[in-house]
Amino acid sequence: MSTTTRPGPSSPISRRSLLKGLGAGAALAAGGLVPGRARAAESIRYMCWEGYNAPAILDPFQKAHDAAIAVDLITDSAGGFAKLAAGAYRDFDLVSSDSPWVARMGPAGICRFLDDKDFSAQYAEFYPQFRAPFGPLQFEGKATGLPTRWGWVGPTVNTKFDKLETWRSYAPVFDAAYKDKICLLDWGDWPIMPLALHAGVNPYQPLDKPALDEVRKVLRAAFKNTRAIVGDLAIAQKGLIDGSFRALIGGGTYCTSSLRVAGHDYLQSIVPEPQGGLKQGIIWMEATGLIDNGRNSAGAAEFLKYIVSPEVAVKLAITEATCNLVPNSKAEALFTPEQKKALQMDYMWTAWDNSQFHTIAPNIDDMLAIWQEELAAR
């Protein structure tokens, strides 16, 4: 769910930094170095989100390439970027993070720019929406990384207690009939963006004071109608499942696909219909790039091709941590019908067409400050 990572670019809080059990993963996970590969011919250092380090993904590559991969888990995209920018780039060969941050790493000299021709075979397998030249990862005609996972942010609805049709807009968030029945995820900018869109403000454009005042108004109104502002995903998910919450705002597929894989297919993440020409959903994406550390590891470049291949993409989509969509169209044939249903593949292009693409919002710091001020004042 990316500058913020799926929590936002400059957000101090990452959606995933708040996921249960991830906090301890911040430290260098030397354990990611498979013991049996300690004397492998090549050592690759990999900074990534949880899920990318699954043994089912790393082990086959290590064995096939006589390589040892040491993993350092990211707990927020901004923190990972800062660490690399502070000099740690010398210690890594690969990075998988939220796409706005990976996009920054090329111009910042942290990642190598890719020649799209070198990855033409990979792009050819991607859905058309992700093929080269892929705008969100481009800088002056050059790409930083390949897309690896994606999804959307919109209301997640428990259809046992509510109808999807009710969520053609975010209006229920402010409806007295839903008082204290809406869960706002306290996840950096992720709950702010959809509510700003509902207010008619495009948070991905520079905002003047009147626009920021509208953001404040809509957040104040949302806070007034609910006491459920939750940072702990497990609590939010429990409340959604048992009906305490009719909907979650600020999470989307990142929060619910794993629940759907577990059988809770009555939970659905959708996007409201555009209002006044302004799309109301948000597409988030993760990407993987090659770090420019002076070594330019050939093994790292091979891993980049490997991780977007159909067979590996399926493993990356369904992990113990989260379940997400992938850009490789050929992977779709490898998912089971149950997995496709859990990932809402029948809805993904509707969500795409009705969503903004998540980038670094110019006024994210202002919006985060407003969120905190209104939260403290409620």
For the segment 233-252, what is each residue's pLDDT rounded down to a tens digit? 899 999 999 999 999 999 99
Q: Is the pLDDT score of 36 beyond 70?
A: no
Kindly indicate the confidence band of residue 31, based on its pLDDT and cuts at 50, 70 and 90.
very low
Residue 310: per-residue pLDDT: 98
Residue 39: per-residue pLDDT: 72
Residue 319: per-residue pLDDT: 94
Kindly indicate the confidence band of residue 34, based on its pLDDT and cuts at 50, 70 and 90.
very low
Residue 378: per-residue pLDDT: 86
List pLDDT tens digits, range 345-369: 999 999 999 999 999 899 999 999 9
Kindly indicate the confidence band of residue 1, based on its pLDDT and cuts at 50, 70 and 90.
low
- The letter for the amino acid at 110 is I
Kindly indicate the confidence band of residue 76, based on its pLDDT and cuts at 50, 70 and 90.
confident
Give the lowest-confidence range in 9-18, 133-142, 167-176.
Answer: 9-18
- Asked whether 326 and 316 are in contact (CB, 8 A), the reply is yes
Enter the pTM of the model: 0.89
Kindly indicate the confidence band of residue 276, based on its pLDDT and cuts at 50, 70 and 90.
very high
Across all residues in the chain, what is the average pLDDT?
Answer: 90
Residue 37: per-residue pLDDT: 58
Residue 41: per-residue pLDDT: 85
- Asked whether 125 and 135 are in contact (CB, 8 A), the reply is no
Residue 238: per-residue pLDDT: 94
Per-residue pLDDT, averaged over 18-31, amounts to 34
Higher pLDDT, 67 or 22: 67
Q: Which residue pairs from 217-224 have beta carbons closer than 8 angstroms and sit at least 24 positions apart in sequence?
A: 219/192, 219/195, 219/370, 219/371, 219/374, 220/374, 220/378, 221/174, 222/173, 222/174, 222/182, 222/184, 222/195, 222/249, 223/184, 223/374, 223/375, 223/378, 224/378
Per-residue pLDDT, averaged over 318-323, amounts to 91
Give the lowest-confidence range in 14-18, 299-303, 308-312.
Answer: 14-18
Per-residue pLDDT, averaged over 191-197, amounts to 97
Q: How many CB atoms lie within 10 A of CB 63?
A: 13
